[in-house]
Chains A and B, each alone.
Chain A
Amino acid sequence: MIRIPCPNCGPRNSSEFSYFGELGSRPAPDAVDPAHWRHYLYDKKNPAGWTTEKWYHASGCRKFFAIERNTLTNDVKSGRPFGVESSSEESS
């Protein structure tokens, strides 16, 4: 099982986490037209190699954070917390 480095709890089995996919910058919903919004929702880079993505420590500290992971090897680099406390604000 791959291990995910939670910035709060340290490396834990990936089964403790929920995966939220590629980190994208979310446009303000009232500032974009539906086509742009759908582009944000659906069009993914789906890269083969290093990528930054969002995970949630569901069976741990219950915080969202970002990690760098290599999708070819599943190697991970250390995680970094988001600047916000509340998890609901960060959930997509």
Chain B
Amino acid sequence: MWRNFELEKSYDVVIIGAGVHGLATAYYLAANHGISKVAVVDKGYVGGGGSGRNTAILRSNYLTPEGVRFYDRSVQLYRTLAADLNFNVMFAPRGHLTLAHNDSSLRTMRWRAEVNKLQGVDSEVITPEEIKRLVPFMDVSDDTRYPIIGALYHPPGGIIRHDAVNWGYARAGDRLGVQIHQNTEVTGIRTEKGRVSGVSTNRGEIGAPIVLNCTAGWASLVSAMAGVKLPIITHPLQAAVTEPVKMFLDAVVVSGSLHVYVSQTDRGELVFGASTDPYASYSMRGSLEFTEELASHVLELMPSIAKMRVLRQWAGLCDITPDFSPIMGITEVEGFLVDVGWGTYGFKAGPAAAEAMAELVATGRTPQLIAAFDLARFAEGRLASERGAAAVGH
């Protein structure tokens, strides 16, 4: 898939983190801008962070116009990604449903649908009867604890095979000359007169005029090495998967009130997720109370799957920002860039974020598409709140 190299003394760009963001940025640097003296370094393995642990939901039905435009660009890139990378990423746009169980969530959904439509994104509020037609197994009756009163329906949303995306970008980057260094931990970031000059790793020193932080859950620790503070708190997020059964669930179903979402993979497994663990942590241990709560909530929605067995559960780290939007662009240290704050929703953003970050590196200018997501917005009080669209549904 990709080759191993000795570390060179210097590169034009060093990218920290071999998740979808780091790998895709390296690929677009080489493919779109001819910058291929690039190293992607990771303390673990390709896709060992959130990019290999997520539930692979893609959608663009966010709340702010900036958010909708940005995520829509990513879904567009995902649509042709298999052909662009010559690697089957198994994108299945099966439709995405966010359920409303009370008036306030229905109100937010109407709002989202209008913002979405204005940006040309297919999104509408539908009734319980229409939900039943899309998901016949769903209990849309009145006699549940939290009756379903409607849903935001987003037909272009769906799921993808996350590993294939990571591997596809890594392989395509490698073919263009990008070097991927696994088991290479960054232990320090060197600066001279407010400018980045390289990184220290467990395998030696590397010089570079541009260093990009793509370390998601670990982003605060890596930025601190350059003396840059981030408004990020790391929370674990858990997920679980069942044994495979015959296909019966086409759409992705999310319930904010019940803190749960479910989809069925092409292999037939049901993939479940929930909200983040309620306290900050760098521990990736799963917990029994997660599975218990998850099961009880999923059964409220789909009582008929009570006999299905959970095969495994896992956790990943999420870099949560105060406004549930990412942080992309420059920092106060010249040459030290960040593409972080991806919280529980950053896999879908990989292609668009990477395309924009590569353009920033190549041209020195921040593309309009990501201008609203700069680090300075926190000090300047310009938050881009996506809480209503990203707190539970990833």
Q: Are B322 and A41 in contact (CB under 8 A)?
A: yes
DSSP class of B's interface residues: helix, strand, loop or mixed? loop
Determine which of A39, A44, A72, A73 lies in contact with B220 in the assembled complex, contact meaning CB atoms within 8 Å.
A44
Q: Which residues of B contact A41 (CB under 8 A)?
A: 322
Say if the beta carbon of A38 comes within 8 Å of chain B: yes
Contacts of B229 in A (CB 8 A): 39, 43
- Cα distance A74–B283 in the bound complex, in angstroms: 7
A46: Cβ under 8 A from any B Cβ: yes
Distance between B64 CB and nearest chain A CB, rounded to angstroms: 18
Contact B231 A44 (CB under 8 A): yes
- What is the interface residue range for chain A against chain B? 20 to 34
A21 to B285, CA, bound (A): 20
Q: Does the CB pair A38–B381 fall under 8 Å?
A: yes
B378 x A38 contact (CB < 8 A): yes
B279–A43 touching, CB < 8 Å: no
- Verify A48–B381 contact, CB threshold 8 A: no
Contacts of A46 in B (CB 8 A): 220-221, 230, 232-234, 280
Q: Enumerate chain B residues within 8 angstroms of A44, measured Cβ to Cβ.
A: 220, 230-233
By a CB distance below 8 angstroms, the chain A residues around B280 are: 19, 21-22, 46, 53, 71
CB-defined contacts of B378 to chain A, threshold 8 Å? 38, 42-43
CA distance A72 to B282 in the complex (A): 5
Residue of A nearest to B223 (CB): A46
Interface residues on B, range: 20 to 34
Q: Which residues on the B side are within 8 Å of A31 (C-beta)?
A: none
Cβ of B32 within 8 Å of any chain A Cβ, yes or no, is: no
With an 8 A cutoff between CB atoms, is A91 at the interface? no
- CA gap between A17 and B393 in the complex, in Å: 24
Chain B residues closer than 8 Å to A69, beta-carbon distance: 279
Q: Is B83 in the interface zone, CB < 8 Å from A?
A: no
- A83 in the interface, Cβ–Cβ < 8 Å? no
Once bound together, how far apart are the Cα atoms of A72 and B217, in whole Å? 12
Is A42 in contact with B231, judged by CB distance below 8 angstroms?
yes
- How far apart are the CA atoms of A45 and B280 in the complex, in Å? 11
Checking B234, B278, B379 against A19 with a beta-carbon cut-off of 8 angstroms, the contacting residue is: B278
Interface: A52 (CB within 8 A): no
Within 8 A of A (CB), among B282-317: 282-283, 285, 287-289
Residues B348-388 near A (CB distance < 8 A): 378-381
Q: Assess the A45–B220 pair: CB atoms within 8 A.
A: yes
> For residue A34, which residues in chain B have a CB less than 8 angstroms away from its CB?
381
A1 to B229, CA, bound (A): 31
Instruction: Say whether A71 contacts B281, CB under 8 Å.
Output: yes
B contact residues around A28 at 8 Å (CB): none
Q: How distant is the Cα of A19 from the Cα of B280 in the complex, in angstroms?
A: 9
CB distance from A4 to the nearest CB of B (A): 9
Known: A44-B231, A46-B232. A14 touches B379 (CB 8 A): no
Q: Contacting A48 at CB < 8 Å: which of B232, B279, B282, B287?
A: B282
User: Beta-carbon contacts of A31-69 to B below 8 Å, as 1s and 0s?
Assistant: 000110011011111101000010000000000000001
Check if A1 sits within 8 Å of B283, measured CB to CB.
Answer: no
Q: Which residues of A contact B322 (CB under 8 A)?
A: 41-42
B287 proximity list for chain A (CB < 8 A): 1
In the complex, A35 Cα to B283 Cα: how many Å? 32
Other contacts beyond A44-B231, A53-B280: 12, CB < 8 A: A1-B289, A19-B279, A35-B380, A38-B378, A42-B378, A43-B230, A44-B220, A46-B220, A46-B221, A71-B234, A71-B283, A74-B283
B residues with a Cβ closer than 8 A to A are 218, 220-221, 229-234, 278-283, 285, 287-289, 322, 378-381
* A–B Cβ pairs within 8 angstroms, 28 of them: A1-B287, A1-B289, A14-B279, A19-B278, A19-B280, A21-B233, A21-B280, A34-B381, A35-B379, A35-B380, A38-B379, A39-B229, A39-B379, A42-B231, A42-B378, A43-B378, A44-B220, A44-B231, A48-B218, A48-B221, A53-B279, A69-B279, A71-B234, A71-B280, A72-B283, A73-B283, A74-B281, A74-B285
Q: Which 4 residue pairs spanning A and B have beta carbons closest together? A: A42-B231, A46-B220, A19-B279, A43-B229
| A residues adjacent to B (C-beta < 8 A) | 1, 14-15, 19, 21-22, 34-35, 38-39, 41-46, 48, 53, 69, 71-74
